[in-house]
Amino acid sequence: MPGVGLRARLALFFVAITVVPLTVAVVGLQLQIREESREGAADELRLVELSASALVEAERRRAGDLADDLLAPDTTGTAGGTGLAAALAAADTDAIQAWLEGVLPDLENSRADLVVVAGPDGALLGSVASEPEFAPGVDVRPAPAAIAEAVRTRVPPAGVLLETREIRAGGNEGAVLGYLISGLWADRQLLDLLRVPVGTAFLAGEEVLAADGGTIASLPQGPLPDQGDIGPVTVDGGDALAAVIPLGSAAGGDVGGSPSSLLLWSPLPVSPYGPGLVLALLAIVVIVSGSVGWILAGGVVAPVRRAADVARAVAGGDLQQRLAPSGGRELADLATALNTMAAVLSDRLAELQRSKEELRGSLSRLGQTLSSSLDLNRTLAVMVETVMITLSADRAVLMLLTPERDALYVKVGRGIGSPVRRLALGEGLAGWVARTGTPVRLPDDRSAAPPPAEGELAGPHQLAVPLLGRGQAIGVLSLVRDEGGLPFTQDDLETISSFGTQASVAIENVMLHQEARRLSVTDPLTGLWNFRYFQIQADRELESASRSSRPLSLVILDIDKFKHVNDTQGHQVGDEVLIEVARRIRDSTRVPDVVARYGGEEFVVLLPGTGLDGAVATAERIRLAVYGDPVVVDLPSDGDAVGPLQVSCSGGVASFPDHGRTVAGLLRTADAAMYLAKTRGRNRVFAAGSAGIVAPGETGASRSQA
C-alpha cells in the first residue's frame, strides 16, 4: 500500500478489531434484550391476569353479598327472606315478583345486574334485571327462565356470572323451598370496572360479548391460547401476547363453571433492529472484515483473529472471555477496552439478575400479605416497602383521604424524618394528584403540576401517583430519590401506576372488611350500636368498675306513644322519628358513653365513670333534647305532607352496685324505673331507689321517689 503510513494502517487495524466485533456484539445483545423484553411482557401480563381474576371474583362476591343481605335478619329479628319463604311455600309468583321489586326498586344502583328467584325444580318464579351492554349485534342475554334452570342443570348460560343461595323453610335446617340467584352481566360495564392496563374482552366460546373501548375491530387475530396459558397473537398487524381466563365457578353457590371467559392482550415492545437492518449490518461486517483482513495480512492477522474470537464469544453471551494484550501499545489498549466492555456488561447483567431476584422476592412477600392480611396498617407498610425496593427509592409516604374526602393524612411513611403535615384536597403536589387523578414525575412534569407544599414530602427526583378505587381517588403514594440518585424514568412511573392500581384493590378489600365488621355491631336504621355490642361493652365496663371501684350507670329511654305515631302516620314516618331521636341522644352524650338501640323504640346508654346523680343529669339532658324541638318529617303520608311532631321520651336510671351487680340486674332495675316514669305521666326521668327528675311545669319538689 504505497503512500499509506503506519498510523493509517493502525487506524484500519483498530477498525477491524473494534468496530466490526463491537457491531456484532451490539446486535447480539439487542437480540438478547428483545427476548428478555418478551419475557418481561409475559410476566407483566401474568400479574395483570392475577389482578383481573381477583377483580372479577370481587365483583361476583359483591353480587353474592347482595343475595346474603336480602336473606339476612333485619333489625327486628325477623328473617329478611321470611316474606319470600312464605311466598315460595305458597308458590305465589305474584308475591315473589312484588317482593323482588320491593327490595330492589333500583337495580341500577345495587351490587348485581340481575336477581332471579327459582323453585327447587329450577322453575322461574320471579326476576329483576338491568339491560346488559353487550357488543353491537351480540344477543346472548339469557332469559330469566334459563338462569333459573341453571339451578337444576348446574350449567349457567353464557354471558352471566352467577351466585346462588338456598332458601329453606324454618331457617338453615328446613327443606329447600327455592333459590335466590344474583349475578352480573359479562358486558362492557363489568369491563369498565376492571380498569386493567391492557386490552380486555369477554368471550362466550369464540363470540365476543364485550370489548375494551366498545369495539371489536382491534381484537387479537389468530388462534387464541388455551385457558390459563399466555400465547402469541397479532393485534393491528403487530405482535402481542394474550391470555384467556376462565370465569370459573360461582363462589359459595351450586351452579357450575361459566362458559364465558375473559380475554387479555398486550402489544409486545417493537425492537429498533428489524431483520433487514440486521442483515445489512452483517453484510457490512463481512465485507469490511474481509477487505481489512486481506489488506492487513501478515503479522496483524493473528492478533485481529484473537480479538474477533473474543468479541464473538462476548456477543454469544460468554462474558467471562478476556483478550490478552499483545501486538504493541495500540493493540494492548484495544484488548483492555474489550476486556473492560466485557466486565461492565457482566456487572450490568449481574445487577439486572439481582434486581430481578429482589423484585421476585418483594412481589412474593406482597402477594402473601395481600392474600392473607386484613390488617390495613400491615398491608400498607408492606406495599410501601415493596415499591421502595422495586424502584430503589430513598423515601416514601402513603397518604389516604379522610372519610369526608376533604384532606390527605399520612398513613405510612418511610425515611421521611420530620412529620409530613396534613394536606387539604388540591393543596400541594399530593393534593393536586388526589384531586385530578393524574400521576406526576418530577422534575419532568414540573410545568404541568404544582410544586410540593411546605411541610410536604419533596426531593430532587419524585414520583406521585393516585390510588384509585371505584373510579375515585382514595389516596396518594409518593416516592423520592435524594441527591446523587438517578432520575425516575417513564418506565418507573408506569410500574408504580400499575402497582398503585393493584394496591388500591387490596386497600379497598381491607376497608370493606373493616366496614363489614362495623356493620355487624351497629343498628342499620339509626346508626347506633346494636344491643349485641352494648352487652359486650357493658360486661367490660362492669368488670373494670368492680375491679377499680369506679362508678358506672346506665339509662333506659323509651319514646312516648310511639305506637300512636306508627298507627296514625305510618312506619316510614316512625322510622324517621327513630333516626332523629337517636341523633339527639347521641349528641347529648360524651365520647366514652355507649349509646345503643335496645329494641323497637327503646334506647340504652352506658355511662362509664358516672354516678347516679350524673346519670340522672345526663338522662334529663337527653329528655330535654328529645322534647325541645318538634321532629320535622319530609316523607308524605296519604298524599299530604307530615307536619312537625312533638316527641317525648321517658327514662329510667340505675347505678352499679346500688341497683344491681350484673348488667342484667341493672337493666331490670332501670327498666322498672322507666316504667314508673311512664305510669307517672311520661316525659320524665326516674332513678331506681332514689328521686327522679320530673318534667318541666310540675309543681313541688324537682324530684319524686321512684
Task: Give the residue ranges of DSSP H helices in 373-427.
Answer: 376-391
Q: Enter the C-alpha cell of residue 22.
A: 463491537
Which residue of the set 59, 149, 601, 620 is catalytic?
A: 601
Contact call for residues 474 and 400 (beta carbons, < 8 A): yes
Phi and psi at residue 308, to the nearest 5°: -65, -40
Burial 419-452 (b: 16+ CB within 10 A, else e): ebeebebbbbbbbbbbbeeebbbbeebeeebeeb
3-state secondary structure 105-167: CCHHHCCCCEEEEECCCCCEEEEEECCCCCCCCCCCCCCHHHHHHHHHHCCCCCCEEEEEEEE
Bridge partner residues of 555 (DSSP): 605, 653
Q: Which of 102, 68, 97, 71 is nearest to 85 (CA)?
A: 71
Bridge partner residues of 211 (DSSP): 201
Amino acid occupying residue 540: R
Bridge partner residues of 637 (DSSP): 640
Alpha carbon distances (Å) from 675 to 82, 271, 660, 663: 33, 85, 17, 18
Enter the DSSP assignment of 17: I
Q: Which of 215, 3, 22, 178 is nearest to 89 (CA)?
A: 178
Q: Please confirm, yes or no, whether 601 is among the known catalytic residues.
A: yes
Q: Enter the C-alpha cell of residue 695.
A: 318534667
Q: Enter the C-alpha cell of residue 51.
A: 389482578
Phi and psi at residue 125, to the nearest 5°: -115, -20
Alpha carbon distances (Å) from 437 to 380, 464, 474, 501, 532: 20, 10, 10, 12, 41
Q: Which of 194, 196, 189 is nearest to 265 (CA)?
A: 196
Contact call for residues 76 and 82 (beta carbons, < 8 A): no
Q: Which of 488, 388, 512 is nearest to 439 (CA)?
A: 488
Amino acid occupying residue 397: V
CA-to-CA distance for 595 and 605, rounded, in angstroms?
Answer: 5
Q: Which of 53, 21, 533 is nearest to 285 (CA)?
A: 21
Phi and psi at residue 173, to the nearest 5°: -95, -10
Task: Give catalytic residue positions.
Answer: 601
